[in-house]
Chains A and B, each alone.
Chain A
Amino acid sequence: MRKVGIVGAGITDCRGRWIEATYWDLFQQATRRACEDAKITTAEIDSVVYGIYNDIFEHQAIPESSLTGLIGMANKPGTRVTSGGATGFYAMRTAVMEVASGTSDCVLCVGGEKATDCFDPRSKTATPMVIDTIAKSWDPFFEYPLGATASDSYMQLCMAYNDEHPGDIGDPLVRAKIVEILCHSGNRNPYAQRRDETVTAEQVMTSRWIIAPFLRLLEVCMYTEGAGAVLFASEKKAREISERSGQPIVWVRGIGAANESYSPGRGGNYKRLHRIDSDRIASERAYAAAGVKPSDIRIVELHDAFVAQLMITMGELGFVPVGRTRTLIDEGLMVDPKSLRDDQPPPSGKLLVNPSGGLIFGGHFVGGSNMFSTWSCRREMTKRKVPLGMVHGTGAINAVFGGAMILELDERSAR
């Protein structure tokens, strides 16, 4: 397997709705910015991997077909990846494998979503239709007819976790303090959807219930329209591009992925409801591939659909003990970006979690959310000279899809 590096990345502005652009233009914007970042033209790109979660949102059954020519990928190989919330992660994994295998020297991985053109005729708002479209991720026989939504799917995990570990994610103040830190991060991301908002712990704890007792309105991720692109290159190509662009290479040091069974149950290979084993197994594989351990990592960009799930995922990724994830706040492990200069690494033993603002304050354009996370992780590692970072993705009913990618700042640039 060849070494693979990230040589460029670009994202669009994250918006609740883009009236000014269709997904054609959003994908082009992200691609253009990634090329500008790497100082390359599309002629240097060998192939493309698209991350598009859902045909219904794009309102086209082969949405990537209309993009090919518009993003300069005509007459090149193109693969679309769709894996629920983990679409972006799996698209990047595909792009990395394509370079690692020697098939291509430079691969564009671009993903995005146009979700809020959906409109519910009865409530005259978008949200119930967006939720319904996502609810079509459930099977039509057993789960969808019960009214399952993404929120209560993740909440039933959180409730099952709380059954086993009471007093951890169940403390509303701990969750609210995490939201406050994420808000400060979102304020520092010029592309973040909620970059101008100020949300205090107090406001979180009095916001409207979505699902009692773990999920208030200010603890939930957003729906975002936007796109993100990441350019992966072989070692030789990456060094050549890096020389030209002046941008340090961020190497993909290890990738791990795991998908659990769809059905929850007792024993065997059934999904354990009180754990997110997909996150655990994926990260164990990523650590093994990279030859590092959680304590070596200082920056994590993780898929935070909901704050309580962020806490469990931090446990599954090995940063805090499962059952005592509240140490993120209790022991100050999750550092507030307000306490750091923009070029300062987090102090030893502390972690910068979702410096992009995550999916709650930054943006969540499903097919490209993990590219958004990668864009941010690379940006922060470069700016703060942090040697190792992690990007995480999760998705599908009951968070059964999981992925983790460990990034390493090129040592010549890290000094």
Chain B
Amino acid sequence: MTTRRGQPALPLDFNLPRDWREIQGRDGRTYLQFTTHMVTFYEQTYGEHSRFFMALRGGRLIGSKCTTCAQVMVPAATWHCPNCNFAEMREVELPHRGILAHTAPVTVFPSASFIGDAPFARGYVDVATDAPIASYLPSRLRTTTGLERPGIFVKGIELKLVFEDERVGSIRDIFWVPMTEIPPPLRNKQPLLASELNFASPVPPEVKKDPAKAAAKDRAMAAMRKLASDVERSRRAQADLANRAFVLGIKTGGGDFALDVANSRLLIREGLPDKSDFILVADDPDVFRAWVNDGSLTDAAVEGSLWLPNKEAFQVLPALDRLPRSTRRDLREAK
């Protein structure tokens, strides 16, 4: 979901042509359906929340603190304490560090408005840690180590608040990054801007080489070569790859290889390619054998057993995931 100014509130391709169409019911009869919509536009006031979002625009994080019980609400959802007979709450400046309140989920299948953003992580951050009672801030969570995946955003880790360089007054103006990923000189900087961190070229994880993994890699190579040759004889699989061209360099604990898609064909080569679109890392090469045996590279990425540098790399996986099923169906029909 974009937060840039000037773009249409509803993306232009988020639409359907007017249509009245006959469709068949389960009872074999013909029914009629039509395309329509239920869209409302808003010029929505932030009202009492305006102070919170104005503060974000200014690179500050504020909450509301009760003058009676000292509880802190962040975001400042109200200025009258619901626990103290609506006693006055006053603005309080909050630190740019917090604790992740619970292990956070990573969303892979988002709703229609967020397709293209996935995978992404969101969770609740305990910011007003000094307050006896405090709400948690619903937050975007990001890592500089590649794609958001399980194992990073676990309960209790310390987080650093980061501000987008261009801020509009949205909860998406901010996000949190594990403190361990922040270079020490930047840890106390307020506000820390997104442009001061490197999200564009994450360092791939190290793999541990060993002979068992080398043998596993050989098995994976054999399985993938078989798949590649099946693709040559499968119209469905060729359709899956149509109009796609990319080179993946893949590092594993059993050795490296390249996966090349062009002209509706799949090519498997030993070693890392000179030029690749993405470098993927899997300590266990068996990830690729499992893929060929009706597994899924998407699932491996979701689990974290396959490392991806960014969301663009994630987008190439669904087409690859369709290949084993497509080839199997075509070859079975050919028999």
Where the two chains meet, the residues of A that have a C-beta atom closer than 8 Å to any C-beta of B are 15, 19-20, 56, 59, 117, 119-123, 127-129, 131-132, 134-135, 140-143, 145-149, 151-152, 155-156, 159-160, 162-163, 206, 208-213, 263-270, 273-274
Residue of chain B at shortest CB distance from A135: B111
**Does A147 lie within 8 Å of B122, measured CB to CB?**
yes
Tell me whether B205 is interfacial, beta carbon within 8 Å: no
Where the two chains meet, the residues of B that have a C-beta atom closer than 8 Å to any C-beta of A are 1, 3, 13-16, 23-27, 29, 31, 33, 35-36, 38, 42, 44, 46, 49, 53, 69, 71, 73, 75, 77, 82-83, 101-115, 117, 120, 122-124, 126, 132-136, 138-140, 150, 154-155, 170-172, 295-296, 298-299, 302-304
**Does B104 lie within 8 Å of A19, measured CB to CB?**
no
**Does B117 lie within 8 Å of A147, measured CB to CB?**
yes
Main secondary structure of the interface of B (DSSP, over half): loop
Bound state CA distance, A151 and B122, in angstroms?
12
**Does B106 lie within 8 Å of A128, measured CB to CB?**
no
For the complex formed, measure the closest distance between the CB of B118 and the CB atoms of chain A, giving whole angstroms. Answer: 8
Minimum-distance CB pairs A-B, first 3: A160-B102, A132-B111, A265-B135
User: CB-CB < 8 A to A160: which residues of B?
Assistant: 101-103, 155
CB-CB under 8 A for A268 and B83, given A122-B13, A122-B112: yes
**Does A122 lie within 8 Å of B14, measured CB to CB?**
yes
In the complex, 30 of the A-B residue pairs with CB atoms within 8 angstroms, ordered by the A residue number, are: A15-B26, A19-B23, A19-B25, A19-B26, A20-B26, A117-B33, A121-B16, A123-B112, A128-B111, A128-B112, A129-B111, A131-B111, A132-B112, A145-B171, A146-B139, A149-B111, A156-B102, A163-B102, A163-B154, A206-B295, A208-B299, A209-B108, A212-B302, A264-B101, A265-B133, A265-B136, A266-B134, A266-B136, A273-B101, A273-B124
User: CB-CB < 8 A to B24: which residues of A?
Assistant: 19
Which of A20, A119, A156, A206 interacts with B29 by CB under 8 Å?
A20
**Does A121 lie within 8 Å of B133, measured CB to CB?**
no
Residue of chain A at shortest CB distance from B69: A268
For the complex formed, measure the closest distance between the CB of B27 and the CB atoms of chain A, giving whole angstroms. Answer: 6
- Of A20, A123, A146, chain B has the most CB atoms within 10 Å of the CB of A146
CB-CB under 8 A for A212 and B38, given A129-B112, A270-B135: no
CB-CB under 8 A for A132 and B113, given A59-B38, A264-B124: yes
Bound state CA distance, A265 and B64, in angstroms?
14
Residue of chain B at shortest CB distance from A20: B25
Bound state CA distance, A141 and B47, in angstroms?
11
User: CB-CB < 8 A to A163: which residues of B?
Assistant: 102-103, 154-155
**Does B103 lie within 8 Å of A159, measured CB to CB?**
yes
For the complex formed, measure the closest distance between the CB of A212 and the CB atoms of chain B, giving whole angstroms. Answer: 5
For the complex formed, measure the closest distance between the CB of A36 and the CB atoms of chain B, giving whole angstroms. Answer: 21
**Does B303 lie within 8 Å of A213, measured CB to CB?**
yes
**Does B25 lie within 8 Å of A162, measured CB to CB?**
no
Bound state CA distance, A56 and B111, in angstroms?
15
**Does B16 lie within 8 Å of A119, measured CB to CB?**
yes
A-B contact count (CB 8 A): 171
**Does A213 lie within 8 Å of B150, measured CB to CB?**
yes
CB-CB under 8 A for A266 and B14, given A131-B111, A131-B112, A162-B103: no
CB-CB under 8 A for A263 and B109, given A146-B172, A147-B114, A209-B302: no
For the complex formed, measure the closest distance between the CB of B51 and the CB atoms of chain A, giving whole angstroms. Answer: 12
CB-CB under 8 A for A211 and B107, given A141-B171, A142-B171, A266-B134: yes
Which of B46, B69, B124, B295 interacts with A141 by CB under 8 Å?
B46
Which of A119, A147, A266, A270 interacts with B107 by CB under 8 Å?
A147
For the complex formed, measure the closest distance between the CB of A114 and the CB atoms of chain B, giving whole angstroms. Answer: 12
**Does A265 lie within 8 Å of B44, measured CB to CB?**
no
Which of B111, B113, B123, B304 interacts with A156 by CB under 8 Å?
B123
**Does A59 lie within 8 Å of B36, measured CB to CB?**
yes
User: CB-CB < 8 A to B23: which residues of A?
Assistant: 19
User: CB-CB < 8 A to A267: which residues of B?
Assistant: 71, 132-134
Residue of chain B at shortest CB distance from A159: B103
Which of A122, A135, A156 interacts with B104 by CB under 8 Å?
A156
CB-CB under 8 A for A269 and B83, given A147-B117, A209-B302, A263-B135: yes
**Does A268 lie within 8 Å of B104, measured CB to CB?**
no
User: CB-CB < 8 A to B38: which residues of A?
Assistant: 56, 59
User: CB-CB < 8 A to A123: which residues of B?
Assistant: 112, 115
User: CB-CB < 8 A to B108: which residues of A?
Assistant: 209-212
For the complex formed, measure the closest distance between the CB of A325 and the CB atoms of chain B, giving whole angstroms. Answer: 18
Q: A145-B171, A266-B135 are in contact. List 6 more A-B contacts (CB 8 A).
A: A19-B31, A19-B33, A266-B136, A268-B83, A270-B133, A273-B101
- Of B105, B123, B171, chain A has the most CB atoms within 10 Å of the CB of B105
User: CB-CB < 8 A to A159: which residues of B?
Assistant: 102-105
Residue of chain A at shortest CB distance from B102: A160
**Does B106 lie within 8 Å of A211, measured CB to CB?**
yes
For the complex formed, measure the closest distance between the CB of B253 and the CB atoms of chain A, giving whole angstroms. Answer: 21
**Does A20 lie within 8 Å of B111, measured CB to CB?**
no
Bound state CA distance, A163 and B105, in angstroms?
12
